[in-house]
Amino acid sequence: MKISIQRAQELLQCAECKRILVVGDLMMDRFVYGTVSRISPEAPVPVVRVSHEKSMPGGACNVASNLLALGGKASMAGVIGKDAVGDELKGQLSGNGVTLNAVIENPDQPTCIKTRIVAERQQVVRVDREEYFQLSEEALAEFCKLIEQEMEQADGAIIEDYGKGSVQQAVVDAVIAAAAKTGIPVGYDPKDDHILKMEGVSVVTPNRKEAFGSAGIPEGKPAENPLEDIALLKVGQILAEKWKAKHTLITLGPHGMLLLNEGDKPQHIPTRAREVFDVSGAGDTVIATYVLALACGATYLEAAELSNFAAGVVVGKLGTATCTRKELIDYMKAHAEEL
C-alpha cells in the first residue's frame, strides 16, 4: 500500500478548507423501492409493490455530494431545465451546502431525471427522461464566464461528462485555462463516445468500458492480472497520447484499478470491495476523492489508493451513494493488515 491511515487522516483534515468546482451534467436520481411476489399476467415481467420512494441529486451532482461527504466544499456548474424538477434539484443541492453560482437554466428543455425501480435490493428497470441540452452561442459564452469566475475561488476542478450537453469543448477550455493560471488540479470523467481535447488535465478516470470506447478498440475479456492485459495496456497508451493527462486511472470493477502516469510503469491497485451491491455512482466517488486528495497535497499514488478505498465503501451500498470521511477511515482500518 502507498498510503497509511495517519496520512489519510491528514489529507481528509486538510479537505475542510478545499473547494472543488464540479462542471458537468446535472440530474435528479429517483428511486422507487418495493417488493416482488408475482409475475404480471399482462406480460412476463415482475410486479413491484411500492413501499417508498426517494429523490437525490445525481449525475455530476453526485460528485459534489461525495466531496461534501469527505469534508470538502463544492460548487457546481451545469445546465438544468426551468421546471419543478430543476427547482427541486437546486433546493436539495443548496440545502446540502453546494454553491450554485454557475448553474444556468434552459427554459426550452427539461431537467434530466433517472428513475430506478428497485426490488429486493436489485434494480428491476431504469427509466430515463432526458434531452441533449443545446445552448446558444450567447448562453454558452455566459456559462463559460461564470465558470471562470468560480475557478478563481476553487482549489481544484472536476469535469463530469454524461454526454447530455453541459460539457462542450469551450467549457473544457475555460476550465483548463483557468486552472493553468493557478496551478490547481483538474479531473475528467469521460463519456466514451464524446470526443474532447483534454490536454492539460491532471487525471482522467474512465472505467474499462469507457477506456476501450474512447480508444476505439473492441473490449475483450479482461485478464486476471491487469498488468498482463495486453489490450488494456495498449488502450492506456492510446489514451495517454489522446488526452495528454498527467495521470490516467482506469477503474476495473472487481480487478481494481490501473494507474498510468507520465514516464512511469503502469501500476495495479487491487480492489478493496468486500461485497458489491450496486456500482451506481462509484466512478463519481473515485474522481471526487482523487481530485480532493490532490488538492490537499497527496501524491498521485496516495490519491489513487484513497480513491480505491472510497470506491470499496460505496459499492457496498444500494443506489447512488457517497463515502463519508468516517466510513473511509473505518474501512481502511478494516484493511489495516494490508497497509
Grid coordinates representing 158 are 472536476
pLDDT digits (tens, 9 = 90+) for 263-289: 788 999 887 655 554 455 578 999 999
Q: Which residues does the annotation mark as catalytic?
A: 284
pLDDT digits (tens, 9 = 90+) for 11-65: 999 999 999 999 999 999 999 999 999 999 999 999 999 999 999 999 999 999 9
In which order are the strands placed within the sheet that holds 112-119?
Answer: 46-59, 26-39, 112-119, 122-129
pLDDT digits (tens, 9 = 90+) for 142-194: 999 999 999 999 999 999 998 898 999 999 999 999 999 999 999 999 886 67
Give the CATH class of 5-28+59-113+131-338. Answer: alpha beta
pLDDT at residue 320 is higher than 70? no
Among 13, 112, 11, which residue's Cα sits nearest to residue 61?
Answer: 112
Q: CA 12 → CA 21, 120, 192, 332, distances in Å?
A: 18, 35, 31, 13
Mean pLDDT of 321-339: 84
All structural domains of the chain with their residue ranges: 5-28+59-113+131-338
> 0.85 cut: is pTM over it?
yes
CB 339 within 8 A of CB 302: no
pLDDT digits (tens, 9 = 90+) for 199-251: 889 999 999 998 998 899 999 889 889 999 999 999 999 998 888 888 999 99
Grid coordinates representing 188 are 475528467
10 Å Cβ neighbour count for 181? Answer: 10
Among 231, 240, 238, 236, which residue's Cα sits nearest to residue 250?
Answer: 236
